[in-house]
Structure 1
Amino acid sequence: MAPVKIRSTTVLGVYHNGEVAVGADGQASMGNTVAKSNVKKIRKLLDGKIVTGFAGSTADAFSLLEKFEEKLNGYSHNMKRAAIELAKDWRTDRYLRKLEAMMVVADKNELLIISGTGDVLEPDFGIAAIGSGSMYAQAAATALKKHAPHLTAEEIVREGLNIAADICVFTNHNLIIEKPL
């Protein structure tokens, strides 16, 4: 299976100084055209205990969010176990296998990336980034964690996404940032 090429958004999650924040821009693109500038790509699950961010096809992402929530409920709200089970299903199920999206999921202690190739990644350095502007956001967040350790996770996410929006034409400055409870 060829890797999914996710464009048209940036999602950034950061675990820093004992706190987690996940944010995304609001741009939805259709080809080279901005279709909408204020899409909400961040969702809270389990009464805010888990925050998710998605990149890729919106319809596919919502299907995955529903499946992830089912897995959370089926595995006693254990985020990592639910992520692993979702990734297994995603890779092997005929319908799910065709979905083109990725997710960043976080609770107050952990940050994961879930992909359609069956990967559940615990990112190095507590930084998870997906989407077209992910490398810009990740580089900015890495530098901020290293050189401005006094910043909060939310401040690092905000600045990382703003830097990505300055560089990536598929990312805008309409940000939504959430922290798990």
Structure 2
Amino acid sequence: MEKIKSTTVISVIHKGEVAIGADGQATLGNTIAKSNVKKIRKLFDGKIICGFAGSTADAFTLLERLEEKLNSYGGNLKRGAIELAKDWRTDRYLRKLEAMLIAADKDEILIVSGTGDVIEPDNQIAAIGSGAMYAQSAALALKKHAPHLSAEEIVRESLNIAGDICIYTNHNLIIETIK
């Protein structure tokens, strides 16, 4: 059985605003399985926003665990992400999960992976998924050469550019912001 996969998720902090967005496409092999999947979630009373790429069921498990960690550490995103990564790396059940997360609050963006990585990206731009490098390249250029745009506008345009290039990314976008 082939796995449902592929997406583009990007987050940007710019001008005091954090935005995270994702396309809505899920593929099964070389077929579009669904075109309007919601891959963005708000956690910790809307103070943290997350996006995921990979297996949906696995990502929901990780989002639940991250929310537990956030509750345990008073909403401290970095500490919660590090504790999740530790568990993900050492727990037999969690080790088999196939997903990646981007988590952001008003001050920072983190990428969390199953290899135990918690990465705070340069330039306050993070992207995951099949179209990640297209979206990240677009966001870097927009942030540098169109600084008048908001974080939400940079995320939207970056996802549209990725959707024009990556066959696993569509234009059904969901974007959330924290100001």
TM-score under structure 1 normalisation? 0.95
- Aligned 1:19-168 pairs, distance under 5 A: 19-168=17-166
Mapped to 1, the partners of 2:175 and 2:7 lie a distance apart of 14
Mapped to 2, the partners of 1:146 and 1:108 lie a distance apart of 20
Mapped to 1, the partners of 2:54 and 2:166 lie a distance apart of 15
One-letter code of the match for 1:84? I
The Cα offsets for residues 133-172 of structure 1, whole Å up to 9 and x where unpaired, read as 0000000000001100110000000000000000000000
Provide structure 2 residue ranges, at least 5 long, that are not aligned to the other structure.
none
The Cα offsets for residues 29-49 of structure 1, whole Å up to 9 and x where unpaired, read as 111110000000000012211
One-letter code of the match for 1:88? K
- Aligned 1:1-16 pairs, distance under 5 A: 8-16=6-14
The Cα offsets for residues 55-79 of structure 1, whole Å up to 9 and x where unpaired, read as 0000000000010011011111111
Provide structure 1 residue ranges, at least 5 long, that are not aligned to the other structure.
1-5
Deviation at 1:180, TM superposition (A): 2.6
Q: Contact 2:5–2:26 (CA<8 Å) still a contact in 1?
A: no
Mapped to 2, the partners of 1:122 and 1:7 lie a distance apart of 24
Deviation at 1:7, TM superposition (A): 5.0
One-letter code of the match for 1:169? I
One-letter code of the match for 1:162? N
One-letter code of the match for 1:67? R
The Cα offsets for residues 81-101 of structure 1, whole Å up to 9 and x where unpaired, read as 000000011011111010000
Mapped to 2, the partners of 1:49 and 1:109 lie a distance apart of 11
**Count of aligned pairs between the two proteins:** 176
| Paired residue secondary structure (1:55) | strand
Mapped to 2, the partners of 1:92 and 1:63 lie a distance apart of 15
Mapped to 2, the partners of 1:54 and 1:46 lie a distance apart of 16
One-letter code of the match for 1:136? Y
| Paired residue secondary structure (1:95) | helix
